[in-house]
Structure 1
Amino acid sequence: MRTASQSPATGAGCEPGFRGVICVSFATTDALQDHDTGGMPRHDLRFAAATPEAIANLRSVLGHSRVGVRVVLAGPPADVHAAASVAAECGLVDEEMTLVCDEVGPRVIFCGHCHTSTTTDHPIGTNVDCQGCGTTLIFTDHFSRRVGGYLGFSAHAEEAA
């Protein structure tokens, strides 16, 4: 994110130095269709999923925005949290982001052992096998905004000790 004194760049998909509300929708959600921006200018981005290309596009738009921009992210939890992690990397703070997660959808589980991310549709509190190290993980509602996922830890840790 640029301060007002920096020179604007082009090719970001919205006007250089944009200061308003960037509404980002993932999948087929229409949760932001009637989102009130409080009179601030609005720029809409719609992606099928939080693919590397979509994340790069979002990073570019945020990189060309100015201090004071707000971001609203809507869609499946895994996509919304991946985008929120990128927004935080770009300098946005929690107060500048609104997350609107769908009730259902895939969740990202971050393995505390090998630091691999595993995507699952399982509900919170259930077991899932890590795609990196194969450890059976259990995950709770402990969510890390930095890694964009729920912390998974060994489901059988007490048995190993």
Structure 2
Amino acid sequence: MAGSDDSGHARRLVVVVGHVADADRYRDGDRLCVLRDAADAGALLDAELPRLGTGWRVLAVGTGPDVRAVRAAALARGALAEEVSVRVLDDGAQVRVHCGVCHHGAQARAGDVLECPGCGTALVVTDHESRVHGAVLGAPGVR
């Protein structure tokens, strides 16, 4: 199979944001790409996705916000949700928040209430994750 390695596993484009950890967890057929910043995922995927054959998968590795950003970039470039997996190395305290009112982005801790920097609405940081935006929903709340 074009997208399989000798063991029958799907071949993977592994996008690591930050440092390469747990090198023993990657398979021989994996194509490993390391980014310093998740914001660079779009450019990397623009270059790598056209080179992948049928059956390849994308694995994003990094902090929670970083893997959500890589997954969103892959989906925006035509990858199917079933083709993209994530491995969170450090869940971290901060998450990217998408304002449900004005669509502005911010950073906050899960469960916090924050004022949206775009529209000033008090937002409750939910656990509802948007794969499209690579963020969790900031829903209007009561102060």
Cα distance in structure 1, aligned partners of 2:46 and 2:107: 22
Q: Deviations over 1:99-150 (max 9, x none)?
A: 0122215311010100111123x1x221122121121210211101111111
Q: Percent identity?
A: 29
Cα distance in structure 1, aligned partners of 2:99 and 2:65: 15
Match of 2:99 in 1: 111
Length, aligned pairs only: 134
TM (norm. structure 1) is 0.73
Higher strand share: 2
Residue 24 of structure 1 aligns to a residue whose secondary structure is strand
Please say if residues 78 and 105 of structure 1, whose CA atoms lie closer than 8 Å, have aligned partners that are also in contact.
no
1:43 CA displacement: 0.9
> 1:93 and 2:80 equivalent?
yes
Matches within 5 A, 1:75-86: 75-86=62-73
Residue 46 of structure 2 aligns to a residue whose secondary structure is helix
Question: Deviating runs (4+, > 4 A) in structure 1?
Answer: none
> 1:151 and 2:127 equivalent?
no
Q: Which has the larger radius of gyration?
A: 1
1:71 CA displacement: 1.1
Q: Deviations over 1:42-84 (max 9, x none)?
A: 2111111112x44212232113322211111111111111110
Match of 1:26 in 2: 17
Residue 121 of structure 2 aligns with an amino acid whose one-letter code is T
Residue 34 of structure 1 aligns to a residue whose secondary structure is helix
Match of 2:56 in 1: 69
Cα distance in structure 1, aligned partners of 2:59 and 2:37: 15
Q: CA RMSD in A?
A: 2.1
Please say if residues 29 and 75 of structure 1, whose CA atoms lie closer than 8 Å, have aligned partners that are also in contact.
no
Q: 1:106 to 1:125 in 2, by over 3 A?
A: closer
Cα distance in structure 1, aligned partners of 2:46 and 2:66: 14
Residue 24 of structure 2 aligns to a residue whose secondary structure is coil
Q: 1:73 to 1:155 in 2, by over 3 A?
A: same
Residue 14 of structure 2 aligns with an amino acid whose one-letter code is C
Unmatched segments (≥5 aa) in structure 1: 5-18
